[in-house]
Amino acid sequence: MNTALRVLTVTLAILAAIPLVALALVFSQSPEPANKDADTLNFNSVLPPEQVELPLLPYKAEDGTDLGYRYIPAKSDNAPLVILVHGSGWHGGSYQWLAHQIAGDGDIAVAVPDLRGHGPSPQRRGDVDYIGQMEDDVAALAKQLLKPGQKLILAGHSSGGGFVIRFAGGKYGGMPNGVVLLSPFLNYKAPTMRDNAGGWSQALVRRAIGLSVLNALGIHALDGLTVVTFRFPRAVLESPQGKAATTAYSWRLNVSYAPRRDYLGDVARLPPFLLVAGREDEAFRADQFEPTLSAVNPNGEYHVLDGVDHLGLINTQATADLIRAYVHRQIAR
């Protein structure tokens, strides 16, 4: 066998082995039963349910699916619209207090969607149809709510903040006039990350690596497999709110929810943004947001709130005040 033929044979063997190795990685892990008593995020600030309930309204997604959102209209059509995106495993219902505080006396309109795969009655809990579908969904909501000349501010908490970064770095990046990031997820390897997000998330790392390789080869047949689970406290899962908890994500939903692998590339495309985090955040290192993001985008404003943890951030008056001030500065630009 001549040298060229040997090289070709070895190359073909390696190429044939790659998907087999990826499949082995995918099926070498499976989700473990949830430990309801394990250390996780402090949910005390979101229990019991908020006193003011906003009705869940339907809107049409790009594929015709009815999805839900909560809405506080403004008194004027010229008022800015804030779309507030919830964090992982949860839904818009726990953001109603913050939505009301942002809306103020009616000078800001606020919409809080339940992302696809989430909320009280999703079609398929913890899953979407394809990577990027949630961006299409939120863009559809914005297009249906925005009035001519109205400015859009996209805000997100935790994984919702990561989603906002992804949205601004993708095909809809021209839509938001401003961005609010509330302790956002960036990447599992980012300097801002604590181990397993403070006990909140458990990633199936080998499975995720295998699916990433398969996706790179154009293979998406297994994208519906679970790659991350969440540790909700027993008190949450056994409460009335537990019915709306989403305890696991498929690969395609998890990828859709986060910035791209080059997360700093997405950050670099952000418009002037506000970032707020709590100094007691159990999931992320609050002091690392500014050095990490400012290295690629100088247009950020950063605030770290003393005595505030990850979920407490969305029920703190200082957070709402900072968002309102930022929104008014953006509409004055």
pLDDT at 2 over 90: no
pLDDT at 273 over 80: yes
Helix (H, G, I), strand (E, B) or coil at 132: coil
Average pLDDT over every residue of 81-95: 94
Alpha helices in 121-279 (DSSP H): 133-145, 159-169, 196-199, 205-216, 234-237, 251-257, 263-268
Query: Residue 12: pLDDT band by 50, 70, 90 thresholds?
Result: low
Query: Which one-letter DSSP state was computed for residue 79?
Result: S
pLDDT at 161 over 90: yes
In this predicted structure, what is the pLDDT of residue 235?
86
pLDDT at 138 over 90: yes
Average pLDDT over every residue of 194-207: 88
Closest CA to 104 of 332, 330, 328: 328
Query: Residue 48: pLDDT band by 50, 70, 90 thresholds?
Result: very low
Higher pLDDT, 48 or 121: 121
Query: Which one-letter DSSP state was computed for residue 130?
Result: S
Query: Residue 32: pLDDT band by 50, 70, 90 thresholds?
Result: confident
Lowest mean pLDDT among 191-200, 244-253, 261-270, 290-299: 191-200
pLDDT at 212 over 80: yes
In this predicted structure, what is the pLDDT of residue 8?
56
pLDDT at 58 over 80: yes
Residue with tokens 């409460």: 239
Report the predicted TM-score, pTM, of the whole model to 2 decimal places. 0.92
pLDDT at 50 over 90: no
In this predicted structure, what is the pLDDT of residue 5?
61
Average pLDDT over every residue of 312-328: 96
Q: What percent of the chain is predicted at pLDDT more than 70?
A: 92
pLDDT at 6 over 70: no
What is the strand order of the sheet 152-157 is part of? 57-60, 66-72, 109-113, 81-85, 152-157, 178-182, 273-278, 300-305
Give the phi and the psi of residue 108 in degrees, each rounded to 5: -140, 130
Average pLDDT over every residue of 129-146: 97
Contact indicator for 162, 156 with CB cutoff of 8 Å: yes
The residues that bridge with 178 in the sheet, in sequence order, are: 153
Its sign, for the CA torsion 277, 299, 165, 61, is: positive
In this predicted structure, what is the pLDDT of residue 280?
95
